[in-house]
Structure 1
Amino acid sequence: MVGLLQRSWWVIVLRGLSAIVLALLIMLWPGRTLLVLIVLFGIYTLVDGFLTLISAARHKSPGRERRWLVFEGLMGVIAGILTLVIPDISAQFILILLAIWAITTGVAEIRSAVHLRREIDGEWLLGLGGVVSVLFGLLLLVSGGDPLVVVVLLSGYALIFGVLLLALAVRLRWAARTNSSATNPMP
Protein backbone atom coordinates (compact mmCIF):
# COMPACT_ATOMS: atom_id res chain seq x y z
CA MET A 1 0.00 0.00 0.00
CA VAL A 2 2.81 2.42 0.82
CA GLY A 3 4.42 1.77 -2.54
CA LEU A 4 1.14 2.52 -4.28
CA LEU A 5 0.69 5.77 -2.37
CA GLN A 6 4.28 6.80 -3.00
CA ARG A 7 3.93 6.10 -6.73
CA SER A 8 0.58 7.90 -6.82
CA TRP A 9 1.57 10.96 -4.80
CA TRP A 10 0.74 13.16 -7.80
CA VAL A 11 -2.84 11.82 -7.86
CA ILE A 12 -3.18 12.84 -4.21
CA VAL A 13 -1.85 16.31 -5.16
CA LEU A 14 -4.54 16.57 -7.87
CA ARG A 15 -7.22 15.47 -5.40
CA GLY A 16 -6.03 18.08 -2.89
CA LEU A 17 -5.86 20.84 -5.48
CA SER A 18 -9.33 20.04 -6.81
CA ALA A 19 -10.71 20.24 -3.25
CA ILE A 20 -9.02 23.61 -2.69
CA VAL A 21 -10.34 24.92 -6.02
CA LEU A 22 -13.84 23.85 -4.95
CA ALA A 23 -13.42 25.69 -1.63
CA LEU A 24 -12.26 28.84 -3.40
CA LEU A 25 -15.15 28.72 -5.90
CA ILE A 26 -17.64 28.40 -3.06
CA MET A 27 -16.02 31.26 -1.14
CA LEU A 28 -15.84 33.50 -4.22
CA TRP A 29 -19.51 32.87 -5.12
CA PRO A 30 -21.22 33.23 -1.75
CA GLY A 31 -24.51 34.41 -3.25
CA ARG A 32 -25.02 31.37 -5.47
CA THR A 33 -27.98 29.12 -4.91
CA LEU A 34 -27.61 25.96 -2.92
CA LEU A 35 -28.20 23.89 -6.06
CA VAL A 36 -25.27 25.55 -7.90
CA LEU A 37 -23.00 24.82 -4.95
CA ILE A 38 -24.17 21.23 -4.77
CA VAL A 39 -23.52 20.80 -8.51
CA LEU A 40 -19.99 22.16 -7.98
CA PHE A 41 -19.54 19.63 -5.22
CA GLY A 42 -20.92 16.94 -7.55
CA ILE A 43 -18.23 17.84 -10.09
CA TYR A 44 -15.63 17.60 -7.34
CA THR A 45 -16.84 14.16 -6.19
CA LEU A 46 -16.78 12.93 -9.80
CA VAL A 47 -13.20 14.17 -10.34
CA ASP A 48 -12.09 12.83 -6.96
CA GLY A 49 -13.71 9.46 -7.72
CA PHE A 50 -11.92 9.17 -11.07
CA LEU A 51 -8.58 10.12 -9.49
CA THR A 52 -9.09 7.49 -6.80
CA LEU A 53 -9.88 4.90 -9.48
CA ILE A 54 -6.62 5.86 -11.22
CA SER A 55 -4.81 5.11 -7.95
CA ALA A 56 -6.59 1.76 -7.74
CA ALA A 57 -5.64 0.92 -11.33
CA ARG A 58 -1.99 1.64 -10.53
CA HIS A 59 -2.12 -0.76 -7.56
CA LYS A 60 -0.35 -3.95 -8.67
CA SER A 61 -1.80 -6.44 -6.21
CA PRO A 62 -5.50 -7.39 -6.28
CA GLY A 63 -5.77 -7.36 -2.47
CA ARG A 64 -8.11 -5.76 0.00
CA GLU A 65 -6.52 -2.30 -0.22
CA ARG A 66 -7.17 -2.13 -3.95
CA ARG A 67 -10.80 -3.13 -3.41
CA TRP A 68 -11.21 -0.30 -0.89
CA LEU A 69 -9.73 2.19 -3.35
CA VAL A 70 -12.09 0.94 -6.07
CA PHE A 71 -15.03 1.20 -3.65
CA GLU A 72 -14.06 4.73 -2.63
CA GLY A 73 -13.58 5.77 -6.25
CA LEU A 74 -16.86 4.25 -7.42
CA MET A 75 -18.75 5.97 -4.59
CA GLY A 76 -17.34 9.32 -5.75
CA VAL A 77 -18.16 8.66 -9.40
CA ILE A 78 -21.70 7.48 -8.60
CA ALA A 79 -22.37 10.43 -6.27
CA GLY A 80 -21.00 12.87 -8.84
CA ILE A 81 -22.98 11.40 -11.74
CA LEU A 82 -26.25 11.29 -9.79
CA THR A 83 -25.74 14.87 -8.65
CA LEU A 84 -25.10 16.08 -12.20
CA VAL A 85 -27.51 13.88 -14.17
CA ILE A 86 -30.59 14.31 -11.99
CA PRO A 87 -30.51 18.04 -11.17
CA ASP A 88 -34.25 18.24 -10.56
CA ILE A 89 -34.24 15.92 -7.56
CA SER A 90 -34.47 17.73 -4.27
CA ALA A 91 -31.47 19.46 -2.81
CA GLN A 92 -32.09 17.53 0.40
CA PHE A 93 -31.69 14.20 -1.43
CA ILE A 94 -28.46 15.43 -3.03
CA LEU A 95 -27.16 16.50 0.39
CA ILE A 96 -27.93 13.03 1.77
CA LEU A 97 -26.18 11.42 -1.19
CA LEU A 98 -23.11 13.62 -0.69
CA ALA A 99 -23.15 12.91 3.05
CA ILE A 100 -23.13 9.17 2.38
CA TRP A 101 -20.23 9.66 -0.05
CA ALA A 102 -18.28 11.66 2.54
CA ILE A 103 -18.87 9.11 5.30
CA THR A 104 -17.89 6.10 3.16
CA THR A 105 -14.83 7.92 1.83
CA GLY A 106 -13.86 8.87 5.38
CA VAL A 107 -14.20 5.31 6.63
CA ALA A 108 -12.04 4.06 3.74
CA GLU A 109 -9.37 6.67 4.53
CA ILE A 110 -9.36 5.89 8.25
CA ARG A 111 -9.06 2.20 7.44
CA SER A 112 -6.15 2.85 5.08
CA ALA A 113 -4.42 5.03 7.68
CA VAL A 114 -4.68 2.27 10.29
CA HIS A 115 -3.04 -0.18 7.87
CA LEU A 116 -0.28 2.34 7.07
CA ARG A 117 0.65 3.01 10.70
CA ARG A 118 3.52 0.53 10.70
CA GLU A 119 4.82 1.49 7.29
CA ILE A 120 5.01 5.27 6.99
CA ASP A 121 5.25 8.47 8.99
CA GLY A 122 2.43 10.86 8.25
CA GLU A 123 -0.35 8.30 8.02
CA TRP A 124 -2.17 10.42 10.55
CA LEU A 125 -2.82 12.95 7.77
CA LEU A 126 -4.85 10.35 5.89
CA GLY A 127 -6.61 9.33 9.10
CA LEU A 128 -7.39 12.94 9.98
CA GLY A 129 -8.71 13.45 6.45
CA GLY A 130 -10.97 10.46 7.03
CA VAL A 131 -12.22 11.86 10.32
CA VAL A 132 -12.88 15.23 8.65
CA SER A 133 -14.82 13.46 5.87
CA VAL A 134 -16.95 11.48 8.32
CA LEU A 135 -17.68 14.59 10.43
CA PHE A 136 -18.55 16.56 7.29
CA GLY A 137 -20.96 13.83 6.19
CA LEU A 138 -22.62 13.67 9.60
CA LEU A 139 -22.92 17.47 9.79
CA LEU A 140 -24.49 17.53 6.31
CA LEU A 141 -27.07 15.00 7.49
CA VAL A 142 -28.08 17.17 10.45
CA SER A 143 -27.80 20.55 8.67
CA GLY A 144 -31.42 20.47 7.57
CA GLY A 145 -30.37 21.86 4.20
CA ASP A 146 -29.92 25.39 5.55
CA PRO A 147 -28.06 27.10 2.65
CA LEU A 148 -25.74 29.15 4.86
CA VAL A 149 -24.78 26.12 6.93
CA VAL A 150 -24.23 24.04 3.79
CA VAL A 151 -22.02 26.74 2.23
CA VAL A 152 -19.88 26.92 5.36
CA LEU A 153 -19.68 23.11 5.59
CA LEU A 154 -18.83 22.62 1.90
CA SER A 155 -16.16 25.31 1.76
CA GLY A 156 -14.65 24.39 5.13
CA TYR A 157 -14.54 20.68 4.31
CA ALA A 158 -13.06 21.21 0.86
CA LEU A 159 -10.36 23.55 2.16
CA ILE A 160 -9.34 21.42 5.15
CA PHE A 161 -9.47 18.16 3.19
CA GLY A 162 -7.50 19.68 0.30
CA VAL A 163 -4.75 20.95 2.60
CA LEU A 164 -4.54 17.56 4.35
CA LEU A 165 -4.23 15.77 1.00
CA LEU A 166 -1.48 18.15 -0.16
CA ALA A 167 0.42 17.63 3.10
CA LEU A 168 0.05 13.86 2.72
CA ALA A 169 1.30 14.01 -0.88
CA VAL A 170 4.38 15.98 0.19
CA ARG A 171 5.09 13.41 2.92
CA LEU A 172 4.67 10.53 0.47
CA ARG A 173 6.88 12.17 -2.14
CA TRP A 174 9.55 12.84 0.47
CA ALA A 175 9.35 9.24 1.74
CA ALA A 176 9.62 7.91 -1.82
CA ARG A 177 12.73 10.00 -2.45
CA THR A 178 14.25 8.96 0.87
CA ASN A 179 13.58 5.29 0.13
CA SER A 180 14.94 5.67 -3.39
CA SER A 181 18.18 7.27 -2.21
CA ALA A 182 18.56 4.66 0.55
CA THR A 183 18.22 1.76 -1.90
CA ASN A 184 20.30 3.44 -4.62
CA PRO A 185 23.14 5.23 -2.81
CA MET A 186 25.47 7.32 -4.92
CA PRO A 187 28.84 5.65 -5.66
Structure 2
Amino acid sequence: MFVLLAKNWGWVLARGIFTIIFGAMAIFWPDITILAFVILFGAYAIVDGVTGIVMGMRRDSGRGFLIFMGILGVIAGLIALLWPGITAVALLWVIAIWAIVIGVASIVSGFGLSRDAGGRWLFILTGLAAVILGIVLLAKPGEGAVALVVTIGFFAIIWGLLTVFTSIRLRRLSKELDAR
Protein backbone atom coordinates (compact mmCIF):
# COMPACT_ATOMS: atom_id res chain seq x y z
CA MET A 1 0.00 0.00 0.00
CA PHE A 2 2.81 2.41 0.88
CA VAL A 3 4.50 1.68 -2.43
CA LEU A 4 1.32 2.58 -4.30
CA LEU A 5 0.92 5.78 -2.28
CA ALA A 6 4.59 6.64 -2.70
CA LYS A 7 4.36 6.26 -6.48
CA ASN A 8 1.30 8.55 -6.46
CA TRP A 9 2.55 11.14 -3.98
CA GLY A 10 1.59 13.95 -6.36
CA TRP A 11 -2.10 13.01 -6.11
CA VAL A 12 -1.82 12.99 -2.32
CA LEU A 13 -0.27 16.47 -2.51
CA ALA A 14 -3.08 17.70 -4.79
CA ARG A 15 -5.66 16.28 -2.41
CA GLY A 16 -4.06 18.13 0.50
CA ILE A 17 -3.94 21.41 -1.40
CA PHE A 18 -7.60 21.14 -2.43
CA THR A 19 -8.56 20.31 1.15
CA ILE A 20 -6.77 23.45 2.38
CA ILE A 21 -8.54 25.54 -0.28
CA PHE A 22 -11.90 24.05 0.72
CA GLY A 23 -11.18 24.81 4.39
CA ALA A 24 -10.24 28.42 3.62
CA MET A 25 -13.39 28.88 1.54
CA ALA A 26 -15.53 27.44 4.35
CA ILE A 27 -13.97 29.89 6.82
CA PHE A 28 -14.13 33.01 4.66
CA TRP A 29 -17.47 32.28 2.93
CA PRO A 30 -19.53 30.15 5.33
CA ASP A 31 -22.89 31.17 3.86
CA ILE A 32 -21.83 30.14 0.37
CA THR A 33 -20.41 26.89 1.76
CA ILE A 34 -23.72 26.07 3.46
CA LEU A 35 -25.56 26.75 0.21
CA ALA A 36 -23.07 24.59 -1.70
CA PHE A 37 -23.58 21.71 0.76
CA VAL A 38 -27.34 21.96 0.33
CA ILE A 39 -27.07 22.05 -3.47
CA LEU A 40 -24.71 19.06 -3.48
CA PHE A 41 -27.09 17.17 -1.19
CA GLY A 42 -30.01 18.03 -3.47
CA ALA A 43 -28.18 16.84 -6.57
CA TYR A 44 -27.06 13.67 -4.80
CA ALA A 45 -30.58 12.91 -3.53
CA ILE A 46 -32.05 13.30 -7.02
CA VAL A 47 -29.42 11.08 -8.66
CA ASP A 48 -29.74 8.51 -5.87
CA GLY A 49 -33.53 8.63 -6.15
CA VAL A 50 -33.54 8.15 -9.92
CA THR A 51 -31.09 5.26 -9.48
CA GLY A 52 -33.43 3.69 -6.93
CA ILE A 53 -36.40 4.05 -9.27
CA VAL A 54 -34.50 2.49 -12.18
CA MET A 55 -33.25 -0.37 -9.97
CA GLY A 56 -36.78 -0.94 -8.71
CA MET A 57 -38.18 -1.10 -12.23
CA ARG A 58 -35.62 -3.74 -13.18
CA ARG A 59 -36.31 -6.07 -10.23
CA ASP A 60 -38.84 -8.82 -10.04
CA SER A 61 -39.34 -8.67 -6.26
CA GLY A 62 -39.10 -5.79 -3.82
CA ARG A 63 -39.57 -3.27 -6.55
CA GLY A 64 -42.27 -1.27 -4.81
CA PHE A 65 -40.02 -0.40 -1.88
CA LEU A 66 -37.11 0.65 -4.13
CA ILE A 67 -39.35 2.77 -6.31
CA PHE A 68 -40.97 4.37 -3.25
CA MET A 69 -37.56 5.16 -1.72
CA GLY A 70 -36.38 6.50 -5.08
CA ILE A 71 -39.37 8.81 -5.32
CA LEU A 72 -38.71 10.05 -1.76
CA GLY A 73 -35.08 10.73 -2.75
CA VAL A 74 -36.10 12.73 -5.80
CA ILE A 75 -38.62 14.72 -3.73
CA ALA A 76 -36.00 15.39 -1.02
CA GLY A 77 -33.53 16.53 -3.69
CA LEU A 78 -36.05 18.85 -5.30
CA ILE A 79 -36.97 20.35 -1.92
CA ALA A 80 -33.28 20.94 -1.21
CA LEU A 81 -32.78 22.69 -4.55
CA LEU A 82 -36.03 24.70 -4.47
CA TRP A 83 -35.88 25.67 -0.77
CA PRO A 84 -32.22 25.59 0.27
CA GLY A 85 -32.82 27.65 3.42
CA ILE A 86 -35.36 25.19 4.82
CA THR A 87 -33.08 22.30 3.89
CA ALA A 88 -30.10 23.87 5.65
CA VAL A 89 -32.13 24.37 8.83
CA ALA A 90 -33.52 20.81 8.65
CA LEU A 91 -30.02 19.41 8.16
CA LEU A 92 -28.80 21.46 11.10
CA TRP A 93 -31.61 20.04 13.26
CA VAL A 94 -30.60 16.50 12.26
CA ILE A 95 -26.98 17.22 13.18
CA ALA A 96 -28.05 18.81 16.49
CA ILE A 97 -30.27 15.90 17.49
CA TRP A 98 -27.59 13.43 16.38
CA ALA A 99 -25.01 15.26 18.53
CA ILE A 100 -27.29 15.15 21.58
CA VAL A 101 -28.08 11.45 21.14
CA ILE A 102 -24.44 10.52 20.57
CA GLY A 103 -23.41 12.73 23.48
CA VAL A 104 -25.87 11.14 25.90
CA ALA A 105 -24.79 7.67 24.73
CA SER A 106 -21.14 8.61 25.31
CA ILE A 107 -21.91 9.94 28.80
CA VAL A 108 -23.81 6.77 29.69
CA SER A 109 -20.95 4.67 28.31
CA GLY A 110 -18.45 6.67 30.36
CA PHE A 111 -20.36 6.11 33.58
CA GLY A 112 -20.70 2.43 32.66
CA LEU A 113 -16.94 1.92 32.53
CA SER A 114 -15.18 0.70 35.64
CA ARG A 115 -13.50 3.29 37.82
CA ASP A 116 -10.02 2.28 36.77
CA ALA A 117 -10.70 2.64 33.03
CA GLY A 118 -8.50 5.42 31.68
CA GLY A 119 -10.98 6.59 29.09
CA ARG A 120 -13.95 7.01 31.42
CA TRP A 121 -13.67 10.79 31.76
CA LEU A 122 -12.83 11.21 28.10
CA PHE A 123 -16.11 9.50 27.22
CA ILE A 124 -18.00 11.72 29.64
CA LEU A 125 -16.29 14.96 28.53
CA THR A 126 -16.72 14.28 24.81
CA GLY A 127 -20.32 13.35 25.49
CA LEU A 128 -20.89 16.62 27.33
CA ALA A 129 -19.26 18.53 24.47
CA ALA A 130 -21.54 16.82 21.95
CA VAL A 131 -24.66 17.55 24.04
CA ILE A 132 -23.63 21.21 24.40
CA LEU A 133 -23.03 21.42 20.64
CA GLY A 134 -26.47 19.98 19.96
CA ILE A 135 -28.17 22.37 22.37
CA VAL A 136 -26.35 25.39 20.92
CA LEU A 137 -27.30 24.34 17.38
CA LEU A 138 -30.95 24.01 18.39
CA ALA A 139 -30.98 27.30 20.33
CA LYS A 140 -29.26 29.39 17.67
CA PRO A 141 -29.53 27.58 14.33
CA GLY A 142 -28.28 30.46 12.15
CA GLU A 143 -25.17 31.13 14.16
CA GLY A 144 -24.79 27.40 14.77
CA ALA A 145 -24.74 26.63 11.06
CA VAL A 146 -22.06 29.24 10.40
CA ALA A 147 -20.03 28.05 13.40
CA LEU A 148 -20.32 24.45 12.21
CA VAL A 149 -19.10 25.32 8.71
CA VAL A 150 -16.22 27.43 10.07
CA THR A 151 -15.25 24.56 12.37
CA ILE A 152 -15.33 22.17 9.42
CA GLY A 153 -13.15 24.69 7.57
CA PHE A 154 -10.52 24.71 10.32
CA PHE A 155 -10.49 20.93 10.48
CA ALA A 156 -10.17 20.78 6.69
CA ILE A 157 -7.15 23.09 6.76
CA ILE A 158 -5.49 20.97 9.46
CA TRP A 159 -6.30 17.78 7.53
CA GLY A 160 -5.01 19.34 4.31
CA LEU A 161 -1.74 20.39 5.94
CA LEU A 162 -1.25 16.90 7.35
CA THR A 163 -1.96 15.46 3.91
CA VAL A 164 0.59 17.80 2.30
CA PHE A 165 3.20 16.77 4.88
CA THR A 166 2.34 13.13 4.21
CA SER A 167 2.82 13.66 0.47
CA ILE A 168 6.29 15.10 1.13
CA ARG A 169 7.19 12.00 3.13
CA LEU A 170 5.74 9.80 0.39
CA ARG A 171 7.85 11.62 -2.19
CA ARG A 172 10.98 10.83 -0.16
CA LEU A 173 9.86 7.22 0.11
CA SER A 174 9.31 7.10 -3.64
CA LYS A 175 12.86 8.33 -4.25
CA GLU A 176 14.19 5.69 -1.84
CA LEU A 177 12.25 2.98 -3.66
CA ASP A 178 13.54 4.16 -7.05
CA ALA A 179 17.11 4.12 -5.73
CA ARG A 180 16.85 0.43 -4.77
- Give TM class, smaller chain: 0.3 to 0.5
TM-score normalized with structure 1 length = 0.42
Larger RCO, structure (CA 8 Å, separation 6 or more):
2
TM-score normalized with structure 2 length = 0.44
Question: Which protein shows a greater Rg?
Answer: 2
